[in-house]
Amino acid sequence: MERTFVAIKPDAVQRGLIGEILQRFEKKGFKILGLKFVLLDRETAEKHYAEHVGKPFYEKLVKFITSGPIVVMVIKGKNAVEVSRRMMGATDPSKADNGTIRADYAQIMERNIIHGSDSAESAEREINIHFKESELVEDWHRNIRGWILE
Ligand code: IDP
Ligand code: MG
């Protein structure tokens, strides 16, 4: 089982999509370990997007992610990093496969409504930026577990 970090971006929060997006991960059967509604400060946003420093879209990206509240979460499941990224679809929503979150709810990269870690290493890095270990609840089981996993 693998953990990953997901953020519902300010555009999705403003558009009232928190519930619908959360529901996709819940229905998939992922176990939620952490969930928070937060307004990122600049420092945290810069840490989060460190890999993009120097890119032409970096400044706009940091401004946008700090422009309003977001929902951050840690979820766990089989191949959670890859599977959740596939559920989100391509970075550019106009190229995302039908049925993915970005294809269903978004049109442009600058408003692509969701973030997901792209590797197990970035997942652990991003989880550590946004959560204290004490904020994560590992010690519980969904009672439906046996209907989703062997
Ligand atoms: P990802 O969110 O699919 O992992 P990244 O390449 O990590 O995509 O980029 C982080 C975020 O920066 C994207 O979700 C998108 O909002 C924005 N972004 C990426 N590339 C571009 C671009 O070329 N123009 C504008 N915004 C971009
Ligand atoms: Mg990324």
Residue 90 Cβ inside 6 Å of ligand 1? The answer reads no
In tens, the pLDDT along 39-83 reads 999 999 999 999 999 999 999 999 999 999 999 999 999 999 999
**Cα 118 to ligand 2 centroid, rounded to whole Å:** 6
CATH number of 2-137: 3.30.70.141
Write down the pLDDT at residue 143: 87
Cβ–ligand 1 contact at 107 (below 6 Å) = no
Domain ranges of the chain: 2-137
Determine the pLDDT at residue 142.
Answer: 86
Consecutive H or E run containing 34: strand 31-38
In the chain, which stretches have pLDDT less than 70?
Answer: none
Calpha distance 78→20 (Å, rounded): 22
Residue 97 DSSP label: P
**Residue 75 carries which DSSP code?**
E
The residues that bridge with 73 in the sheet, in sequence order, are 6, 35
